[in-house]
Amino acid sequence: MLNGKNILIGITGGIAAYKICELIRMFKRNNANVRVVCTPNALNFVTKLTLQNLSQNEVGVEEFNIEQFKPEHISYADEADIMIIAPATANTIGKIANGICDNLLTSIACAFTKPMIIAPAMNCGMWDNQFVQENLEKLSSAGYYVLEPDEGFLACGYNGKGRLCELQKIFDKTVNILNGEKFLSGKKIVITAGGTIEEIDSVRYISNYSSGKMGIALADEAYKAGAEVILISTVNAEKPYGVIKVKSAEDMKFAVENEYDTADCIIMAAAVADYRAKNIANHKMKKADNVENITVELVKNPDILQSLCKRKNSVLCGSAVSDTVKEKAPVIVGFCAESENLIENAKVKIAKKGCDYLIANDISRKDIGFSSDYNEVSILRKDGAIKHLDRMSKNDIAKSILKEIYG
């Protein structure tokens, strides 16, 4: 699976360092070329000789061991296709997140421009430290792959979250990144993102707190998985796939319906305003000194999700529908944002709308949802099945949603 791939493993000073010996063997058994870099403290837990024998390469520790004209940390960074730091201590995570380069490993990490996997392992109290979590969020937001630790009995005697994740998880993630999972090849995925803007006058509007991050994460991951992607977004996004910039709910409805006939899947991740101003002033409405209150009459916006489902179901409910027509009908995925009774309200919505999947978000929590790089959702299927996804980065949530649909 990894024939000819160059994998760089960084080991830091944690008790889980001994486990990386087996990870090296897993990569070697799959024909990868493995190089290892250790922090000086890592050698308190595993020996340099052991790592050299397993990797069949010299192990890097000293930062200024220059054998050629090229600086050592640049040479390691250039040669590797991917870098894995496991176990990653709180100390090393903090250094990488803040651009500190005080040893060979952190210098390589700073210069590394290709995919990097961070697999933390530490005491549960350290894991829960707010500054450690902030550093991890910075790394995740910057595109690093963070594999959260498992819960269990720790070397320090505590029970809690902090154990290095299973080696198979690190191995599988590496294979997926290097080989690319193109499970959406040949599919056209249309995704909406952001909160719609409904004008009141030339300077004021009605909108919501949606950042568009979830929709953009879905578009990014669908593109990586080989799909033809059309992102219909209210927020600016410069992407290698198709982006249609829209503003209002009516703009979005027109753009989505325009893509309907050629779409394999439509994911309505945007937060569409329920109402808009009935009459939009073409100038700024002036404040009158003798008027304390004004009334803006609102009218309902089109329900884009419901209209898509109605369009699909009206075709499928025909008396003589061929299998070809059924196969061509797009999968319709909706989103709902609830502040209470999440699953109960989501069940009502999927039944009312008639979509194939509904992604339920809890917007009452501050650590997920709007503007956050993290989310935690429940995926409801039309047949009544429900799958819960625990808190993780929006990109990982996006991958899980796409695999649930096409897995």
Which residues are part of the catalytic machinery?
156
- Residue pair 16/89 in contact (Cβ under 8 Å)? The answer is no
Q: Where are the alpha helices (DSSP H) in 180-282?
A: 213-224, 249-259
- In this structure, what DSSP letter does residue 289 have? T
Residue 84, helix vs strand vs coil: strand
What whole-number distance in Å separates Cα of residue 39 and Cα of residue 61? 6
- Residue pair 19/164 in contact (Cβ under 8 Å)? The answer is yes
Tell me the DSSP string of 53-69.
HHHTSPPB--TT---SS
Q: Identity (one letter) of the amino acid at 221? A: E
CA 278 vs. chain centroid, Å, equals: 38
How many helices, marked H, and strands, marked E, lie in the chain? 14, 19
What whole-number distance in Å separates Cα of residue 297 and Cα of residue 277? 6
- Residue pair 303/354 in contact (Cβ under 8 Å)? The answer is no
